[in-house]
Amino acid sequence: MARYIFITGGVVSSLGKGLASAALGALLQARGFSVRLRKLDPYLNVDPGTMSPFEHGEVFVTDDGAETDLDLGHYERFTGVPARQTDSVSSGRIYSTVLEKERRGDYLGKTIQVVPHVTNEIKEFLKIGEDEVDFMLCEIGGTVGDIEGLPFFEAIRQFAHDKKRGQCIFMHLTLLPYLAASGELKTKPTQHSVKELQSIGIAPDILVCRSEHPIPEKEREKIALFCNVRKEAVVAAYDLKSIYEAPLAYHEQGLDQAVLDAFDISPAPAPNLAMWHDVYDRIHNPEGHVKIAIVGKYTQLEDAYKSIAEALTHGGMANRVKVKIEWVDAELFDREDAAPYLEGYHAILVPGGFGERGTEGKIKAAQFAREKKVPYLGICLGMQMAVIEAARNVAGLAKAGSEEFDHEAGGKRFEPVVYHLKEWVQGNHTVARKADDDKGGTMRLGAYTASLKPGSKVADVYGSTTIEERHRHRYEVDTKYRETLESAGLLFSGMSPDGKLPEIVEWQDHPWFIGVQFHPELKSKPFAPHPLFADFVRAAVEMSRLV
Ligand code: GLN
């Protein structure tokens, strides 16, 4: 039966709860325990799939096709445990399940209430898979005191009450602001935040205090006394140069020991942190750098491409170089020459995206990379852009475009080289979609197998001809144009096993130009960089030696 660690936050948002949870997961693994991490989000959307990246940052897709919070990306990157559909839930999902049950008559005529019906549904969610791991880490989104969060706090309180003593602990993240005028760290907001928790029946066992300055012993004692936690359980979280230092930094501050003590696990197995020391070394001692442009639409908000930025960092670690990412807004050169914006980069990446805005710029970026022989990685929309560019400028299909951008003109503006996917095979059954389906959860989502052409660049990069990667898209390159495009030099080097859906394209007379219909970035880890990103950065390093 799993032990539960509930992670909550107070004082302000964006304290790095997700990162603290992920790092703690990694530390427990380093001590030989198995872990699973979960996120409970108080917002009312059923999942973040329909939210704009400006609202929510990236949508992280799991193997089993859930569209989840980007914190699940952190969890996977730190623990390597593939997240599942059942590792992410929102108030919206809980309420919609409760209401479905009510309509079915499952509650036998009872009045439906937040307590117990909504809280029971949350508790059921928490129990899923409780026999599978040693530790279940459950992070509650938002901060204590938020109206939407209350049912979750009530549910975890009850959950711990229902379980045996010592099976659940509460870890609370707060901020110690620094007052420069008096040169002091202030503990009052932390005290208030803990009071707020206590008023809803939760007494934290561990406090993780974010601080820009070292926490003096006196302040630590004060926090312990006023917040009713052991002094050793007041753990400092200082700012880090890289998120991947977090496991070592938290270990140094005693977080994992405090957790094991709170569960009375003694003697505590010694941690093996060799892997994290290697990660640290690769990040802090690069032997050079490369400059890579990400040409996208949401460039003001780096969280929109979180996993891509992380995967590039991992690619850098694989090659012992620092990857300097520069965000280039594709709209800037929708109608202009792209060269002034793209010259000087050692590689160009065009990420996934939705809608027409900025796509002419992205097409120009693909053209620039092809003509100038700059390494190019096109992901999802970035692959579709590369195919449209090839069709227009090399294969002579001047009007090539995507159905995604052609709704109003009724399909007349473009010759649709990329079409709306209506049917595909998932496992043993066929999935069907219509253009007017609901927007939420209806894309081709999750892990699908692709077969790679022996002898192709990607087969070489992956070292295999069968791969499995995660998808999230509605549109697909039309195989009707395969022959035309292949005779122009664009090889369809990866296909779905039934041969119907192009998964990868690559230019044959180019040092490194690959477009993939899936999202490889979602599977990259600092301790296991994704082969495509590792090789893309290697190609960028080669490019940097030429210019
Ligand atoms: N908008 C494109 C599609 O739906 C690409 C999606 C993506 O880049 N994730 O196919």
352 CA → ligand 1 middle, Å? 6
Choose the final residue of a domain: 279, 305, 322: 279
Residue 511 resides in a domain: yes
For residue 332, what is the DSSP state?
G
Q: pTM surpassing 0.85?
A: yes
| Backbone angles phi and psi of 207, in degrees to 5 | -115, 125
Q: Which residue has the tokens 């005191």?
A: 145
User: 101: helix, coil or strand?
Assistant: helix
Residue of 384, 406, 417, 424 to mutate, ligand 1, most atoms within 8 A of C-beta: 384
Burial of 398 per CB tally in 10 Å (0-12, 13-18, 19+): exposed
Residue 285 resides in a domain: no
296 and 229 part of one domain: no
Strands 502-507 and 490-495: antiparallel
Other C-beta atoms closer than 10 Å to the C-beta of 329 total: 16
CA neighbor of 308 nearest in space, from 502, 57, 15, 50: 57
Other C-beta atoms closer than 10 Å to the C-beta of 332 total: 15
179 and 248 part of one domain: yes
213 and 342 part of one domain: no
Residue of 297, 417, 469, 474 to mutate, ligand 1, most atoms within 8 A of C-beta: 474
| Bond before 511 cis per omega within 30 degrees | no
299 and 258 part of one domain: no
474 lines ligand 1 (CB under 6 A): yes
352 lines ligand 1 (CB under 6 A): yes
Ligand 1 atom with minimal separation from the 380 CA:
8
Residue 187 resides in a domain: yes
- What ranges make up the beta strands (E) of 42-183? 60-61, 67-68, 88-90, 135-140, 168-175, 178-179
473 lines ligand 1 (CB under 6 A): yes
311 lines ligand 1 (CB under 6 A): no
Residues 72, 60 contacting (CB under 8 angstroms): yes
Could you confirm whether 74 is annotated as catalytic? no
Tell me how far CA of residue 149 lies from CA of 156, 200, 210, 540, in angstroms. 11, 12, 22, 45
Other C-beta atoms closer than 10 Å to the C-beta of 447 total: 19
| Backbone angles phi and psi of 378, in degrees to 5 | -105, 125
Residue 459 resides in a domain: yes
Confidence (pLDDT) at 108: 86
Supply the range of the domain harboring residue 84: 3-279
173 and 74 part of one domain: yes
334 and 361 part of one domain: yes
HEC profile for 382-415?
HHHHHHHHHHHHCCCCCCEEEHHHCCCCCCCCCE
User: How far out from the chain centre does Cα 542 lie?
Assistant: 29
Choose the final residue of a domain: 221, 248, 279: 279
233 and 352 part of one domain: no
98 and 191 part of one domain: yes
388 and 339 part of one domain: yes
CATH number at residue 125: 3.40.50.300
- Find all residues with CB under 8 Å of 346, minimum gap 6, and list them: 290, 291, 292, 374, 375, 540, 541, 543, 544, 547
Binding-site residues for UTP, in ranges, read 13, 186-191, 222
472 lines ligand 1 (CB under 6 A): yes
305 and 236 part of one domain: no
380 CA → ligand 1 middle, Å? 6
Could you confirm whether 506 is annotated as catalytic? no
Strands 400-402 and 376-379: unpaired
Residue 172 resides in a domain: yes
Choose the final residue of a domain: 217, 248, 279: 279
Residue of 442, 472, 476 to mutate, ligand 1, most atoms within 8 A of C-beta: 472
User: 24: helix, coil or strand?
Assistant: helix
Residue 284 resides in a domain: no
186 and 301 part of one domain: no
Residue 395 resides in a domain: yes
353 lines ligand 1 (CB under 6 A): yes
300 and 263 part of one domain: no
Which residue's alpha carbon is nearest to atom 8 within ligand 1?
352
- Give the count of domains, the chain: 2
Residue 383 resides in a domain: yes
CATH number at residue 371: 3.40.50.880
Give the pLDDT of the chain (547 residues) as one tens digit per residue.
999 999 999 988 888 999 999 999 999 999 999 999 999 999 888 887 777 777 778 899 999 999 998 899 999 999 999 999 999 999 999 999 999 999 999 998 899 999 999 999 999 999 999 999 999 999 999 999 899 999 999 999 999 999 999 999 999 999 999 999 988 999 999 999 999 999 999 999 999 999 999 999 999 999 999 999 999 999 999 999 999 999 999 999 999 999 999 999 989 899 999 999 999 999 999 999 999 999 988 766 778 899 999 999 999 999 999 999 999 999 999 989 999 999 999 999 999 999 889 999 999 999 999 999 999 999 999 999 999 999 999 999 999 999 998 866 566 788 899 998 888 888 888 888 877 777 777 889 999 999 999 999 999 999 999 999 999 999 999 999 999 999 999 999 999 999 999 999 999 999 999 999 999 999 999 999 999 999 999 999 999 988 7
186 CA → ligand 1 middle, Å? 47
Query: Which is it for the CA torsion 348, 354, 355, 357, positive or negative?
Result: negative
Burial of 287 per CB tally in 10 Å (0-12, 13-18, 19+): exposed
